[in-house]
Amino acid sequence: MAPPAAVVITPFSCSPDPTVVYVTRGWKTTIYKTRYAIEHRQGLAAILGDPGLGKSTLLRYLFAHFTSLPGYLCALVPTPNFKSDYAILRHISSELGMDPKRSMLAQQTSFEKYLIDRYKEGLNVVVLIDEAQKLDGPQLELVRSCLNFETDREKLIQFVLAANLDLRARLVLAKNKPLTSRIFAPSLVDVMSIDEMVGMLRVRCDRESIPWPFAADAIDALYALTRGVPRDVLRTSEFAYAQTLEFQLPQITAAVIRAVSDELRIGDAA
Protein backbone atom coordinates (compact mmCIF):
# COMPACT_ATOMS: atom_id res chain seq x y z
CA MET A 1 0.00 0.00 0.00
CA ALA A 2 1.34 3.43 -0.96
CA PRO A 3 2.03 5.82 1.93
CA PRO A 4 -0.57 8.56 2.44
CA ALA A 5 0.11 11.80 0.62
CA ALA A 6 1.59 14.55 2.74
CA VAL A 7 -0.89 17.16 3.89
CA VAL A 8 -0.12 20.48 2.23
CA ILE A 9 -0.72 23.41 4.58
CA THR A 10 -1.96 26.51 2.81
CA PRO A 11 -2.46 29.05 5.61
CA PHE A 12 -2.68 31.99 3.23
CA SER A 13 -5.23 30.72 0.72
CA CYS A 14 -7.15 33.62 -0.82
CA SER A 15 -10.34 31.61 -1.38
CA PRO A 16 -13.28 33.24 0.45
CA ASP A 17 -13.45 31.55 3.86
CA PRO A 18 -15.85 32.94 6.49
CA THR A 19 -14.29 30.73 9.19
CA VAL A 20 -11.00 32.61 9.15
CA VAL A 21 -11.98 36.27 8.99
CA TYR A 22 -9.85 39.05 10.40
CA VAL A 23 -12.26 41.89 11.08
CA THR A 24 -10.67 45.26 10.36
CA ARG A 25 -12.14 48.53 11.56
CA GLY A 26 -13.70 49.09 8.14
CA TRP A 27 -15.09 45.57 8.02
CA LYS A 28 -16.59 45.99 11.48
CA THR A 29 -18.49 49.06 10.30
CA THR A 30 -19.68 47.29 7.15
CA ILE A 31 -20.82 44.23 9.09
CA TYR A 32 -22.69 46.40 11.60
CA LYS A 33 -24.47 48.45 8.92
CA THR A 34 -25.42 45.41 6.86
CA ARG A 35 -26.63 43.41 9.84
CA TYR A 36 -28.69 46.38 11.01
CA ALA A 37 -30.36 46.67 7.60
CA ILE A 38 -31.21 42.96 7.61
CA GLU A 39 -32.28 42.67 11.23
CA HIS A 40 -34.54 45.73 10.98
CA ARG A 41 -35.97 44.65 7.62
CA GLN A 42 -34.83 47.76 5.75
CA GLY A 43 -34.66 45.96 2.40
CA LEU A 44 -31.37 46.68 0.67
CA ALA A 45 -27.70 46.91 1.63
CA ALA A 46 -24.72 47.22 -0.70
CA ILE A 47 -21.05 46.34 -0.17
CA LEU A 48 -18.91 48.01 -2.83
CA GLY A 49 -15.19 48.12 -3.50
CA ASP A 50 -12.34 47.39 -5.87
CA PRO A 51 -11.47 43.75 -6.69
CA GLY A 52 -9.54 41.82 -4.07
CA LEU A 53 -10.71 43.73 -0.98
CA GLY A 54 -12.65 40.84 0.56
CA LYS A 55 -16.25 41.52 -0.46
CA SER A 56 -16.91 37.84 -1.19
CA THR A 57 -15.51 36.81 2.20
CA LEU A 58 -17.64 39.45 3.91
CA LEU A 59 -20.74 38.21 2.12
CA ARG A 60 -20.07 34.60 3.10
CA TYR A 61 -19.40 35.69 6.66
CA LEU A 62 -22.82 37.35 6.76
CA PHE A 63 -24.44 34.34 5.09
CA ALA A 64 -22.91 31.98 7.66
CA HIS A 65 -23.99 34.29 10.49
CA PHE A 66 -27.64 34.53 9.48
CA THR A 67 -28.05 30.90 8.45
CA SER A 68 -26.91 29.94 11.95
CA LEU A 69 -29.70 31.97 13.56
CA PRO A 70 -33.33 30.99 14.04
CA GLY A 71 -35.81 33.17 12.22
CA TYR A 72 -33.85 33.61 8.99
CA LEU A 73 -34.06 31.97 5.57
CA CYS A 74 -31.05 32.78 3.39
CA ALA A 75 -30.05 32.29 -0.22
CA LEU A 76 -26.55 33.01 -1.53
CA VAL A 77 -25.99 33.72 -5.23
CA PRO A 78 -22.18 33.56 -5.70
CA THR A 79 -22.09 34.51 -9.39
CA PRO A 80 -25.24 35.88 -11.06
CA ASN A 81 -24.55 34.63 -14.59
CA PHE A 82 -28.18 34.57 -15.66
CA LYS A 83 -29.61 35.47 -19.04
CA SER A 84 -32.77 37.12 -17.74
CA ASP A 85 -34.59 38.44 -14.69
CA TYR A 86 -36.85 35.39 -14.91
CA ALA A 87 -33.84 33.06 -14.72
CA ILE A 88 -32.38 34.66 -11.60
CA LEU A 89 -35.78 34.77 -9.90
CA ARG A 90 -36.24 31.05 -10.61
CA HIS A 91 -32.79 30.39 -9.15
CA ILE A 92 -33.45 32.40 -5.99
CA SER A 93 -36.83 30.71 -5.60
CA SER A 94 -35.21 27.30 -5.97
CA GLU A 95 -32.55 28.16 -3.37
CA LEU A 96 -35.36 28.99 -0.96
CA GLY A 97 -37.09 25.67 -1.63
CA MET A 98 -39.81 26.84 -4.01
CA ASP A 99 -41.00 25.03 -7.12
CA PRO A 100 -40.25 26.67 -10.50
CA LYS A 101 -43.10 28.26 -12.43
CA ARG A 102 -43.54 28.40 -16.19
CA SER A 103 -43.74 32.17 -16.59
CA MET A 104 -42.27 35.30 -15.04
CA LEU A 105 -45.66 36.47 -13.85
CA ALA A 106 -46.43 33.13 -12.20
CA GLN A 107 -42.97 33.07 -10.57
CA GLN A 108 -43.37 36.59 -9.18
CA THR A 109 -46.85 35.86 -7.88
CA SER A 110 -45.68 32.66 -6.21
CA PHE A 111 -42.63 34.46 -4.80
CA GLU A 112 -44.71 37.23 -3.24
CA LYS A 113 -47.05 34.68 -1.65
CA TYR A 114 -44.03 32.79 -0.32
CA LEU A 115 -42.66 35.96 1.29
CA ILE A 116 -46.02 36.83 2.85
CA ASP A 117 -46.35 33.32 4.29
CA ARG A 118 -42.80 33.40 5.71
CA TYR A 119 -43.43 36.83 7.24
CA LYS A 120 -46.56 35.50 8.97
CA GLU A 121 -44.38 32.72 10.38
CA GLY A 122 -41.97 35.31 11.76
CA LEU A 123 -39.21 34.47 9.29
CA ASN A 124 -36.94 36.98 7.59
CA VAL A 125 -35.89 36.08 4.02
CA VAL A 126 -32.40 37.26 3.02
CA VAL A 127 -30.84 37.06 -0.45
CA LEU A 128 -27.13 37.80 -0.77
CA ILE A 129 -25.77 38.35 -4.30
CA ASP A 130 -22.04 38.39 -4.95
CA GLU A 131 -20.48 39.86 -8.12
CA ALA A 132 -23.61 42.01 -8.38
CA GLN A 133 -21.96 44.23 -11.01
CA LYS A 134 -22.93 41.41 -13.40
CA LEU A 135 -26.63 42.13 -12.93
CA ASP A 136 -28.10 43.78 -16.01
CA GLY A 137 -30.83 46.41 -16.09
CA PRO A 138 -33.85 44.08 -15.92
CA GLN A 139 -32.22 42.08 -13.11
CA LEU A 140 -31.58 45.23 -11.07
CA GLU A 141 -35.17 46.21 -11.72
CA LEU A 142 -36.23 42.79 -10.38
CA VAL A 143 -34.43 43.57 -7.11
CA ARG A 144 -36.21 46.93 -6.94
CA SER A 145 -39.62 45.41 -7.65
CA CYS A 146 -39.11 42.71 -4.99
CA LEU A 147 -38.50 45.48 -2.46
CA ASN A 148 -42.11 46.54 -3.08
CA PHE A 149 -43.16 43.40 -1.22
CA GLU A 150 -43.62 44.99 2.20
CA THR A 151 -45.93 45.74 5.10
CA ASP A 152 -46.62 49.29 6.25
CA ARG A 153 -43.28 49.33 8.07
CA GLU A 154 -41.07 46.43 6.97
CA LYS A 155 -39.73 44.75 3.86
CA LEU A 156 -40.66 41.12 3.32
CA ILE A 157 -37.26 40.39 1.74
CA GLN A 158 -33.76 41.72 2.38
CA PHE A 159 -31.12 41.95 -0.35
CA VAL A 160 -27.37 42.38 0.08
CA LEU A 161 -25.45 43.23 -3.10
CA ALA A 162 -21.66 42.85 -3.09
CA ALA A 163 -20.08 44.38 -6.16
CA ASN A 164 -17.11 46.08 -7.75
CA LEU A 165 -17.22 49.84 -8.17
CA ASP A 166 -18.62 49.31 -11.68
CA LEU A 167 -22.02 48.92 -10.04
CA ARG A 168 -21.68 52.21 -8.16
CA ALA A 169 -21.04 53.98 -11.46
CA ARG A 170 -24.25 52.49 -12.84
CA LEU A 171 -26.29 53.20 -9.73
CA VAL A 172 -25.68 56.94 -9.99
CA LEU A 173 -27.33 57.02 -13.41
CA ALA A 174 -30.78 58.60 -13.47
CA LYS A 175 -32.45 55.43 -14.74
CA ASN A 176 -31.30 53.53 -11.63
CA LYS A 177 -32.27 56.20 -9.12
CA PRO A 178 -35.40 54.27 -7.99
CA LEU A 179 -33.14 51.40 -6.87
CA THR A 180 -30.31 53.58 -5.54
CA SER A 181 -32.71 55.51 -3.32
CA ARG A 182 -33.67 52.23 -1.64
CA ILE A 183 -30.16 51.34 -0.50
CA PHE A 184 -30.45 51.71 3.26
CA ALA A 185 -26.89 50.73 4.11
CA PRO A 186 -24.22 51.40 1.46
CA SER A 187 -20.66 50.47 2.44
CA LEU A 188 -17.33 51.03 0.69
CA VAL A 189 -14.61 48.48 1.44
CA ASP A 190 -11.07 49.89 1.55
CA VAL A 191 -7.52 48.52 1.67
CA MET A 192 -5.92 47.36 4.92
CA SER A 193 -3.46 49.30 7.01
CA ILE A 194 -0.13 47.58 7.58
CA ASP A 195 -1.15 46.69 11.15
CA GLU A 196 -4.38 45.15 9.88
CA MET A 197 -2.42 43.19 7.28
CA VAL A 198 -0.18 41.77 10.00
CA GLY A 199 -3.25 40.93 12.09
CA MET A 200 -4.82 39.03 9.18
CA LEU A 201 -1.63 37.05 8.58
CA ARG A 202 -1.26 36.19 12.28
CA VAL A 203 -4.84 34.87 12.37
CA ARG A 204 -3.97 32.58 9.45
CA CYS A 205 -0.80 31.32 11.14
CA ASP A 206 -2.55 30.75 14.46
CA ARG A 207 -5.30 28.77 12.78
CA GLU A 208 -2.81 26.34 11.24
CA SER A 209 -0.56 26.41 14.33
CA ILE A 210 2.50 27.39 12.34
CA PRO A 211 5.29 29.67 13.60
CA TRP A 212 5.33 33.24 12.31
CA PRO A 213 7.27 32.85 9.02
CA PHE A 214 7.94 36.49 8.09
CA ALA A 215 11.18 38.35 8.62
CA ALA A 216 10.76 41.97 9.68
CA ASP A 217 11.79 43.36 6.32
CA ALA A 218 9.34 41.04 4.54
CA ILE A 219 6.35 42.79 6.07
CA ASP A 220 7.35 46.21 4.77
CA ALA A 221 8.05 44.77 1.33
CA LEU A 222 4.77 42.86 1.30
CA TYR A 223 2.74 45.94 2.16
CA ALA A 224 4.55 48.14 -0.33
CA LEU A 225 4.03 45.71 -3.19
CA THR A 226 0.42 44.73 -2.46
CA ARG A 227 -0.72 48.15 -1.20
CA GLY A 228 -2.80 46.46 1.48
CA VAL A 229 -5.15 44.64 -0.92
CA PRO A 230 -6.09 41.45 1.00
CA ARG A 231 -6.24 39.13 -2.01
CA ASP A 232 -2.80 40.20 -3.19
CA VAL A 233 -1.38 39.98 0.33
CA LEU A 234 -2.62 36.41 0.71
CA ARG A 235 -1.64 35.30 -2.78
CA THR A 236 1.89 36.65 -2.39
CA SER A 237 2.19 35.16 1.09
CA GLU A 238 0.95 31.76 -0.08
CA PHE A 239 3.54 31.51 -2.85
CA ALA A 240 6.30 32.90 -0.62
CA TYR A 241 5.47 30.39 2.12
CA ALA A 242 5.49 27.56 -0.43
CA GLN A 243 8.97 28.61 -1.52
CA THR A 244 10.29 28.57 2.03
CA LEU A 245 9.05 24.99 2.38
CA GLU A 246 10.32 23.91 -1.03
CA PHE A 247 13.80 25.32 -0.55
CA GLN A 248 13.91 24.85 3.24
CA LEU A 249 14.42 28.55 3.92
CA PRO A 250 14.33 29.68 7.56
CA GLN A 251 12.00 32.64 6.89
CA ILE A 252 10.13 34.59 4.28
CA THR A 253 12.42 37.53 3.56
CA ALA A 254 11.91 40.74 1.61
CA ALA A 255 13.92 39.20 -1.23
CA VAL A 256 11.49 36.26 -1.42
CA ILE A 257 8.51 38.63 -1.39
CA ARG A 258 10.01 40.68 -4.22
CA ALA A 259 10.77 37.60 -6.28
CA VAL A 260 7.26 36.23 -5.84
CA SER A 261 5.75 39.63 -6.59
CA ASP A 262 7.66 39.80 -9.86
CA GLU A 263 6.42 36.35 -10.81
CA LEU A 264 2.83 37.20 -9.97
CA ARG A 265 3.10 40.65 -11.55
CA ILE A 266 1.06 42.36 -8.88
CA GLY A 267 3.46 45.19 -8.17
CA ASP A 268 6.71 46.86 -9.12
CA ALA A 269 9.90 45.47 -7.64
CA ALA A 270 11.17 47.79 -4.95
- Tens of pLDDT, residue by residue over 220-270, are 999 999 999 999 999 999 999 999 999 999 999 999 999 999 999 754 444
The answer, yes or no, to whether residue 7 has pLDDT greater than 90, is no
Q: What contacts 53, CB < 8 A, 6 or more positions away?
A: 189, 190, 191, 229, 230, 231
Q: Which domain does 46 fall in, by range? A: 25-188
Q: Are residues 161 and 218 in the same domain?
A: no
End position of a domain, from candidates 169, 188, 207: 188
Q: Are residues 200 and 110 in the same domain?
A: no
Q: Are residues 120 and 181 in the same domain?
A: yes
- Is 270 within the bounds of a domain? no
Distance separating alpha carbons of residues 211 and 134, to the nearest angstrom: 41
Distance separating alpha carbons of residues 3 and 163, to the nearest angstrom: 45
- Is 217 within the bounds of a domain? yes
- Is 20 within the bounds of a domain? no
Note the pTM of the prediction, 2 decimals.
0.91
Q: Are residues 84 and 169 in the same domain?
A: yes
End position of a domain, from candidates 172, 188, 204: 188
Question: By the 8 A CB rule, do 80 and 134 touch?
Answer: yes
What's the structural domain count of the chain? 2
pLDDT digits (tens, 9 = 90+) for 126-166: 999 999 999 999 999 999 999 999 998 999 999 999 999 99
pLDDT average, residue stretch 100-121: 97
C-alpha dist (Å) from residue 152 to 110, 119, 148, 149, 174: 21, 13, 11, 10, 27
C-alpha dist (Å) from residue 7 to 1, 3, 98, 243: 18, 12, 41, 16
Q: Are residues 148 and 34 in the same domain?
A: yes
Q: Are residues 172 and 83 in the same domain?
A: yes
The closest alpha carbon to 89, from 78, 74, 77, belongs to: 77
Q: Are residues 198 and 184 in the same domain?
A: no
- Is 114 within the bounds of a domain? yes
Q: Are residues 123 and 58 in the same domain?
A: yes
- Is 4 within the bounds of a domain? no
**Phi and psi, residue 162, nearest 5°:** -110, 125
Q: Are residues 176 and 99 in the same domain?
A: yes
